[in-house]
Amino acid sequence: MHFATYALRLKNARTEEEWRELVRSNWSMECEFAGGDGRELLTTSWFMGDLRFETTDLSRQRWTWRPGPGLDNWRKNTLVIFMIESGAIEIEQEGASVRLNEASMLLFDASIPYTQTSAEHARGMILRVPKSSLEGRAKALSGREMFVLDSTSPDVALLRSLLAAAAANGERCSSYGATLVAEHLTDLMEIITDDLTAPKRVLSSDVTLRKVKRFIERNVGNEDLGPDMIASAMGISRRYLTRLFERDGSSVMRYLLQKRLERAKKMLTGGGDRIRVSDVAWQCGFVSAAHFSRAFKKQYGRSPTIFQNGGTGDTDEGMDRQTSPAEERETCLYPATGGAGHVEPVDGRQNR
């Protein structure tokens, strides 16, 4: 249902300066615009009982948190539900990041600093729910973590459809109807904490990084493995993936190269002279045996052939050597040809 588009269909577009001021006053955020034409700066907001609805076009914008309680102290007194109609929005808060797509719903506490970055054609609804109205209904929602609701749950799907209908038509309904609907919607917020449809906690950056590394280790032989594939598999943006490794003092490609070389070393050590160097390169995702040999020698101080013939290979002269970005691209970005494209998920279950 195009609830935001329907709610915005008769609204007039704002100028960029008007929009920045609106974001400051309504949300205590600073707005920056990405490049590109055709942006529609449309928004509308209204109350239904104690619930504050706002449908808005967020295309190619980045909102950054500003200190303060917000107008009428709303940050202290409410929780926020984000519901996406189209496009994608990434929200980062306290080292955790979540990427919202069509049909996504997120609950979070806006009193904690956060940023939101929206892609092209991003539209949705931002709902403020008073914490006081949730007492006795959904006490678990008063925590400090972001929650993504389970989009596969029929109960959550029902709540979403009702919220979408309220977003599309609520501004024009009667005061009596608005109050009645708001009361029912507030009661239904208990769905969010139902044991059968418990929301998924957004992982901290440390936990996310561990999951990313585990995914890389299990798929290091996949010739297509790279930043885009990893980010997509983990449900995060490439930009956030890059920052995770930067905070760890490394990079995605450097870690991938390290794991490929470690796997190659184990294969050469355990396979004896029966395994060919070209097969090792292929099974570890290198573009060619020549590229593999250069990377291996730079890392371990000996070529794969000499290492293989030397037995255990206890002399790893180049173990601490840092590879250059060009070397990382050469050995990781360009896939080997003919290898299997199977992807092993983090939990070890096979993708179909």
| Domain-located, residue 264 | yes
Give the pLDDT band (50/70/90) at residue 211: confident
Q: What are 141's two structure tokens?
A: 């929602």
| Domain-located, residue 285 | yes
Q: For residues 67 and 183, state if they share a domain.
A: yes
Q: For residues 24 and 167, state if they share a domain.
A: yes
| Residue-level length of the chain | 352
Domain of 247, in residue numbers: 205-333
CA 190, 193, 198, 203 torsion: positive or negative?
Answer: positive
Q: How far apart are CA 94 and CA 85, in angstroms?
A: 25
Q: How far apart are CA 122 and CA 39, in angstroms?
A: 10
| Domain-located, residue 18 | yes
pLDDT at 286 over 50: yes
Q: For residues 187 and 79, state if they share a domain.
A: yes
Tell which of 168, 183, 201 closes a domain: 201
Mean pLDDT along residues 91-111? 89
- Chain-centroid distance, C-alpha 223: 24
Q: Would you state the torsion angle of the CA atoms of residues 140, 142, 144, 146, taken in this order, to the nearest 10 degrees?
A: 70
CA 161, 164, 168, 170 torsion: positive or negative?
Answer: positive
Q: For residues 187 and 287, state if they share a domain.
A: no
User: Could you tell me the CATH number of the domain that includes residue 222?
Assistant: 1.10.10.60
pLDDT at 74 over 60: yes
Least trusted range by pLDDT, from 311-315, 328-332, 333-337: 333-337
Instruction: Please report where in the chains the tokens 């808060």 appear, as a residue.
Output: 93
Q: For residues 16 and 161, state if they share a domain.
A: yes
Q: How far apart are CA 239 and CA 244, in angstroms?
A: 9
Tell which of 177, 201, 225 closes a domain: 201
Q: For residues 127 and 173, state if they share a domain.
A: yes
Tell which of 201, 220, 237 closes a domain: 201
Q: How far apart are CA 54 and CA 22, in angstroms?
A: 12
**φ and ψ at residue 100, rounded to 5 degrees:** -100, 135
User: Could you tell me the CATH number of the domain that includes residue 116?
Assistant: 2.60.120.10
The pLDDT tens digits for 36-58 are 666 789 999 999 999 999 999 99
CA 337, 340, 346, 352 torsion: positive or negative?
Answer: positive
| Domain-located, residue 350 | no
- Contact in structure between 95 and 205 (CB atoms under 8 Å): yes
Q: For residues 171 and 229, state if they share a domain.
A: no
Q: For residues 141 and 231, state if they share a domain.
A: no
Helix axes 238-247, 205-218, angle to 10 degrees: 100
Taking alpha carbons only, the member of 129, 128, 121, 118 closest to residue 92 is 118
Mean pLDDT along residues 322-335? 46
| Domain-located, residue 348 | no
Give the pLDDT band (50/70/90) at residue 61: very high
Q: For residues 44 and 76, state if they share a domain.
A: yes
| Domain-located, residue 292 | yes
Q: For residues 162 and 295, state if they share a domain.
A: no
User: Which residues have CB under 8 Å from 51's CB, separation 6+?
Assistant: 127, 128, 129, 130, 182, 185, 186
- Chain-centroid distance, C-alpha 217: 20
Identify which has the larger pLDDT, 153 or 205.
Answer: 153
Q: For residues 132 and 24, state if they share a domain.
A: yes
How many independent structural domains does the chain possess? Answer: 2
| Domain-located, residue 320 | yes
The pLDDT tens digits for 108-166 are 999 999 999 999 999 999 999 988 777 655 544 545 578 888 888 888 899 999 999 99
Q: Where are the beta strands (DSSP E) in the chain?
A: 29-33, 43-48, 51-57, 61-65, 78-86, 89-93, 96-100, 105-108, 114-118, 123-130, 147-148, 200-201
Q: For residues 211 and 173, state if they share a domain.
A: no
Q: How far apart are CA 45 and CA 8, in angstroms?
A: 10
**DSSP output for 88-135:** -EEEEETTEEEEE-TT-EEEE-TTS-EEEEE-TT-EEEEEEEEHHHHT
Q: What is the DSSP letter of 329?
A: I
| Domain-located, residue 340 | no
The average confidence (pLDDT) of the chain is 81
Least trusted range by pLDDT, from 3-17, 145-159, 325-339: 325-339
